[in-house]
Structure 1
Amino acid sequence: MDVLVVVPGIELLEQWHRAIRRTLPDVPVGRRGGGHSDNFEGKRILVSTVHSAISTSAPQPSGPALLVADEVHRYGAVTFSKLLTDRFPERIGLTATFERSDDGVERFLLPYFRTVVEGCSYERGHADGILAPVNVMLVAVPFDPIEAVEYQEYDELARKLRGDLIEKFGCAGEPFGEFMRDVQLLGGGDGADRSTWVARKYLHAFSKRRSLLAECRGKREVLRGLGVVLKETGRALAFSETRESSRAAAEVLLEEGVLAAPFTSDLSRSDRTRLLNEFKSGTLTALVAPKVLDEGVDVPEADVGIILASSKSRRQMIQRMGRIIRPKSDGRPASFLVMYAENSSEDPANGAHGTFLEQLTGIASQVVTVSAEDAPGLLREWMNSARSDDKVEPAAFGAPVVEQPAQSSTSVEEVAAIAQRLIEEEVPEEAVVAGTENAEISEILLNVGVKGSVDDFDTVLSCLSILEPRQVSVLVMRYGLGGQQPKRQAEIGARLGLSSSQVGRIERSAIAHLGDTVAGQLLSDVMARMESV
């Protein structure tokens, strides 16, 4: 029986291919996607990205086959559900969280896979001894006076407009993903229509509120205070919400003597690989990343997890937990610091974190709420206690495999130079989103600009409504979405009074934002429709 393994992106494509070859060295295995074009001829197992698997040219097994759908929650999208055919009588889906913000689980996934195997939870992993003990610190961070006023203004506006969009203009109230889809469609309408105006105003307020939480200056100051402790600990992962806040946080840690680097979606594949290798070896102390580390990236174990911006997505927070609570070679506990802006949507007092905190506190040895000033001292206490309690016991039969340090041939000075470059330098034009899942968004925009129908253009323009006006202008010219030929960054810069590097940064930021939202799913639907014509 042939086997098709489907994954969301290139990182997982390579991980699965390596793992299968290592585990089943005598079984021929191929890849499709990410520059590979293997098929089932001469291959028993084919690992494919989902975009390649649903294309009209996708190879099909010659007979009944097994489908392995990794990160199966992704395939509840309308476009990706094309993967779920009767060609695969044997089928299994893998995910840490079987849920979506829309109705895709009930509409597509449950009818196809039918049976859900429950019980693979963090509680069970903790009870079975295959996870590290966990200490959890909740760190309350105040807004500065200006941030507080701005946050209250945008929060009140977003709440009011959300109510108007639901009650007056027919947007779905729940789930939130369906609401955002409706809002984006309204936002792409005729600018003279009141519903379009309200939708665009809501999206602007929503984006501003999100940026204030992500870039809260108080969080960076707490991180600065943690720097002296992080220099003495093992590896740390910090999770942010935006690429800009990732770069800013990495810069703060570097200033405090912590060898840290941003790990963002616009890195070249070589830089991504090098950073992960240096992090695994221990030369690089900390990685700061937005959603690019949440899923699909093979990240080495870390001792400390710092959440700079919380997420309302239970799935995303569970993915982040899994990066930190892997078992340590000496049995020491993991430490989690969750920063939240006081009196905001992140504040647990306002119901934030809900299910996520229940997942984490359910297995935590201790949960403590502290002020920003007390956080560094408590982390030092935890780490010193972990070191004094270090006792390496013989591994029991069936115990989890723990990671061993890798060797690095790169000096600390060289790694520091790389980190500084990634914070300061522009990404070359030819490297824009190359080798990342955002390349899919770029490809979709280019295809629509070249051969899209009127309906395709309407959908794309509605998706662009969530962006800032300058971002929209850059994408329209860059990808020929206004009916003209696509333009180079230098040409766009000349028109807008910007340098080529500034245009490149705006383009990358806009594409990354599209990929982080429901707009990315809508654009994938456009691409699938174009391929089927």
Structure 2
Amino acid sequence: MNSTPSLEVERLCDLLSGRPGLSAREIARHLGLPKGVVNPVLYHRRDLFEARPGPGSAPVWRIRHAASPVTRVGFAPAPRRRTRSTEPGAALRQSLGHSRTRDVAPVVVPPPLMSWQSDALQAWEIAGRRGIVDAVTGSGKTRLALEAITRHLKGGGGVLVVVPTVVLLHQWASVLEGATGRRVGLLGDGYDETGHGSLVVATLASARRRRVDPGEAEGLLVVDECHRIAAECSSTILSPAWGARLGLSATHERLDQAHLSVLMPYFGSVVYQLDLRRAVDQGVVSPVRAAFIGVELLEEERERVEMLVTQLSRLRRRLVAECGCRPAPFTAFLDDVVGVSRRGPRAGGLMAQQWLKAWSAKREILAETPTKLAAVEGLIDAMVAAERTLIFTQSIESASRIVQSLRTRGMRVAAHHSGVEPERRAAVMAAFATGDLRVVVSVQTLEEGIDVPEADLAIIVAASKQRRQMVQRMGRVLRRKPDGRDARIVFLYALDTDEDPRRGAHEVFIEELVDVARATLVTEGVDDRVVEFLDPTRDEGKLPALA
């Protein structure tokens, strides 16, 4: 029963809200729990979770769409005592002796607004205090929102901040308490304090199940990573009762066009955009150097990849012609294939499953090839010179091999992915923040929804085809460095495959990056020239150090 505390209803809701249609086995893998622990909760809480026929014999699960009770935010000063939640996940945690108390964050004077933040805030106010701010990761969207919240609270209004994850729930609460001196009510992670103050922070999953309205006072709704709230099961949070509305995102557009059907009608418009080009030009984020390093696949790997590419192309043509899958962009095609795969063996389901299996096999080969591992090992000197390094890959096996290899070479490194217990992942990020860990290897768990400590070197071992994911990865190293050093990004790719930029891989994203990069390097294999290029002390006309 040692793993039982991590099985909370909220974690299941968080997972299924972002990835509906998972089987119990897949859910267990993502949460790092035995299937025998997951299944009873899914079947016991049929008021929250519903099963649907899956592509095989096992059902797949999603959030049940049901009306949520409305809880109005009160405006009395929040009490010092934390309120126990009645949510099932909280009851489980409390019954096991987990404390729900925390100290209020000390008051901290926030830094003055940067020029872009002042302009964005003014544009939002001119638009009637409704709109979305699109700004590159690492540019300071939270500081902008903090100013809007502070001004609103001074006018006597109530504020609800909706965030995608439990990690951000506590980070936002700490920042808000430090800036305002007020006790923040929490909704999520075992807390239910919607009636204890004029300032509440809620996770997306909790706000969906327990709707919060501002009551009689004027309300401000702030949605972090607002593209997530456009999903069918989350859009109910967008209540008309909130008169002032602020959405934050690095890339608000969605492939399913829900930004047009959900976000724009509710928020009104994108009132301000800070793209990478402007952010670099204005010194909002660090200058960047980018290295593109090609590696050869082993002969047997290349033969296997070529066979899989032929199979994928044949199946793709049939899925487009026979099942109506959108041919482009790739992420739209992938979404359609996943949907078709859930139909079962009929109506193209088997064909879609075959495509997904072949696609997964190709991704694993490209992520796990020994030649990429050798390239990572060749970059150890660059990691030693960096303050902190983030390594992104596409499979847990690849991450495990990288961690093991770097540890044997004396690097302080740890993995961060869905197979690692949440408590351990939190400990990894805490150690990364203090410098006890110098390298973190991630598989899709650091893209968004978590505040990553400052790093200055990113190594992308296997790239995602999704532009949003690539933008988020790059943003993890773009925050301005105290000493003015450049951010450095390394892309490893298998030569003459669909990872190869020379064959059009990630064309739009790479064009954006190359356009703003202070310097670029394209080469094959890792040598002294690469390490020298990545040297943080290399003088490319550094920015002045931060005051």
TM-score (norm 2): 0.67
Task: State the match for 1:453 in structure 2.
Answer: none
**TM-aligned CA distance change 1:62 to 1:362, over 3 Å:** same
Please tell me the residue identity of whatever aligns with 2:290. V
Task: State the match for 1:400 in structure 2.
Answer: none
Quote the offset at 1:324 in angstroms: 1.0
2:531 maps to which of 364, 379, 386: 379
Task: State the match for 1:4 in structure 2.
Answer: 160
Q: Which runs of 5+ in 2 are unaligned?
A: 1-156
Please tell me the residue identity of whatever aligns with 2:172. W
TM-score (norm 1): 0.69
- Secondary structure at the aligned position of 1:11 is classed as helix
Aligned mates of 1:170, 1:391 — CA distance in 2: 51
Please tell me the residue identity of whatever aligns with 2:171. Q
Contact 1:331–1:390 (CA<8 Å) still a contact in 2? no
Task: State the match for 1:498 in structure 2.
Answer: none
2:257 maps to which of 103, 116, 129: 103
Task: State the match for 1:124 in structure 2.
Answer: 278
Quote the offset at 1:171 in angstroms: 2.6
1:308 maps to which of 448, 461, 473: 461
Q: Which runs of 5+ in 1 are unaligned?
A: 397-533
Task: State the match for 1:66 in structure 2.
Answer: 220
Quote the offset at 1:262 in angstroms: 0.8
| Superimposed CA distance per residue, residues 194-250 of structure 1 (whole angstroms, 9 cap, x where no aligned partner) | 622212211111211222222222111100111244234321111111222212111
1:28 maps to which of 175, 179, 183: 183
Task: State the match for 1:406 in structure 2.
Answer: none
Contact 2:295–2:494 (CA<8 Å) still a contact in 1? yes
- Secondary structure at the aligned position of 2:161 is classed as strand
Aligned mates of 1:273, 1:119 — CA distance in 2: 32
Higher strand share: 2
Runs of 4+ in 1 over 6 A off after TM superposition: 388-392
Contact 1:240–1:288 (CA<8 Å) still a contact in 2? yes
Please tell me the residue identity of whatever aligns with 2:395. T
Please tell me the residue identity of whatever aligns with 2:535. M
Contact 1:76–1:108 (CA<8 Å) still a contact in 2? yes
Contact 1:231–1:257 (CA<8 Å) still a contact in 2? no
- Secondary structure at the aligned position of 2:454 is classed as coil
Task: State the match for 1:267 in structure 2.
Answer: 420
Please tell me the residue identity of whatever aligns with 2:167. E
Please tell me the residue identity of whatever aligns with 1:383. D
Aligned mates of 1:377, 1:255 — CA distance in 2: 25
1:227 and 2:383 correspond? no
Contact 1:28–1:42 (CA<8 Å) still a contact in 2? no
Aligned mates of 1:197, 1:391 — CA distance in 2: 55
Contact 1:101–1:176 (CA<8 Å) still a contact in 2? no
1:195 and 2:348 correspond? yes
1:166 and 2:320 correspond? yes
Please tell me the residue identity of whatever aligns with 2:502. A
Aligned mates of 2:447, 2:239 — CA distance in 1: 28
Cα RMSD of the aligned pairs, angstroms, is 2.2
- Secondary structure at the aligned position of 1:129 is classed as coil
Quote the offset at 1:108 in angstroms: 1.1
**TM-aligned CA distance change 1:271 to 1:169, over 3 Å:** closer
Please tell me the residue identity of whatever aligns with 1:98. H
**TM-aligned CA distance change 1:135 to 1:190, over 3 Å:** closer
1:283 and 2:436 correspond? yes
**TM-aligned CA distance change 1:80 to 1:175, over 3 Å:** farther
**TM-aligned CA distance change 1:115 to 1:194, over 3 Å:** closer
- Secondary structure at the aligned position of 2:473 is classed as helix
| Superimposed CA distance per residue, residues 4-50 of structure 1 (whole angstroms, 9 cap, x where no aligned partner) | 1111111111111111011111x3321111221111x2211111111
Quote the offset at 1:393 in angstroms: 5.4
Aligned mates of 1:394, 1:183 — CA distance in 2: 49
Aligned mates of 1:394, 1:217 — CA distance in 2: 39
Aligned mates of 2:519, 2:239 — CA distance in 1: 47
Quote the offset at 1:358 in angstroms: 2.3
1:211 maps to which of 364, 375, 382: 364
Aligned mates of 1:341, 1:60 — CA distance in 2: 52
Quote the offset at 1:110 in angstroms: 1.4
1:152 and 2:298 correspond? no
Quote the offset at 1:175 in angstroms: 5.0
Quote the offset at 1:278 in angstroms: 2.2
Identity %: 33
- Secondary structure at the aligned position of 2:312 is classed as helix
Aligned mates of 2:518, 2:541 — CA distance in 1: 16
- Secondary structure at the aligned position of 1:362 is classed as helix
Quote the offset at 1:254 in angstroms: 1.4
Q: How many residues align?
A: 390
Quote the offset at 1:89 in angstroms: 1.9
Task: State the match for 2:511 in structure 1.
Answer: 358
